[in-house]
Chains A and B, each alone.
Chain A
Amino acid sequence: MFEAKLQQGGLLKKILESVKDLVVDGLWDCDGAAITLQGMDSSHVALVEMLLRAEAFEHYRCDRNVTLGMNHNHLSKILKCANNDDIVILKAADQNPDSCSLILESKNGEKTSDFVVSLVRIDTDQLGIPETEYSAHVKMSSGEFQRICRDLSQFGDAVQITCSKQDVKFSSSGETGKANITLTHSATVDKEEESVTVDLKEPVDLTFALRFLNLFTKATPISDTVTLSLSQEAPLVVEYKIGDSGHIRYFLAPKIQE
């Protein structure tokens, strides 16, 4: 059987919030080591990959690999019933389960709610993501990244990201004119979560659709920092760490000159 008990149900709520607007139906692959999810948006421009290792759970048992086809809107309805400090238990049978049980327990043990979510058949292409050496890595506050994407959306539907040795520039333009926001590599680091790190091998200059970046920033509550990995003519990677026990990575195909 598959059984996973998460002490802080709020984490699962946050994970779901960060994937459900991008991917409606997702395959949750469970094996002895971790739960993984990979899904693309309907236009095949963006992809989300989530990894949550067994260590994240208070109790984790997976006798046989099992794949749960989850409708994220249905799962979200159940998790709306959970408080952040509720315990969440996921349960499913071993072989081709057609449903998954979710049990919510209040912290004081006085309230238990249980739900059965019907699983869905999902025919989806899984993509092999190659190991890539990126030209630039930018690590920054996740809240600042969210702010920049939101602010620039007022000016255009795409953002140009340019990395040079010491800074990263986010630019957007449209009918109102042009907006540039430049972050400079932090000279001193007082608080790691507020500092900006630009690690550059080669300069990059890429353009991405802001609509998707704004969806990615739904993961902001998961981590204080975010890492952007960029290479010329390659998809952008936006990564949020889930503590020491996993990550949410978003991949976004660039817009290229016609």
Chain B
Amino acid sequence: GRKQTALTSFFKKM
């Protein structure tokens, strides 16, 4: 199966 990643694992919080 595939797992949904979160955007925060690609983009840093400012």
A contact residues vs B (CB 8 Å cutoff): 40, 43-47, 125-130, 158, 207, 209, 234-235, 251, 253-258
For residue A258, which residue of chain B has the nearest CB? B3
For residue A46, which residue of chain B has the nearest CB? B7
For residue B8, which residue of chain A has the nearest CB? A44
Instruction: Give min CB distance, A162 to chain B, whole Å.
Output: 15
Are B2's CB and A125's CB within 8 A? Answer: no
CA distance A83 to B14 in the complex (A): 38
The listed residue (A128, A158, A256) touching B5 by CB distance below 8 A is A256
Ordered nearest first, which 9 A-B pairs have the shortest CB separation? A255-B2, A127-B11, A253-B5, A126-B14, A125-B13, A128-B14, A258-B3, A44-B6, A253-B7
Q: Please give 15 more A-B residue pairs, beta carbons under 8 A apart, in addition to A45-B6, A254-B5, A255-B4.
A: A40-B7, A44-B6, A125-B13, A126-B14, A127-B8, A127-B13, A130-B11, A158-B2, A207-B2, A235-B11, A253-B7, A255-B2, A256-B3, A258-B1, A258-B3
Instruction: Give min CB distance, B11 to chain A, whole Å.
Output: 4
Are B2's CB and A257's CB within 8 A? Answer: yes
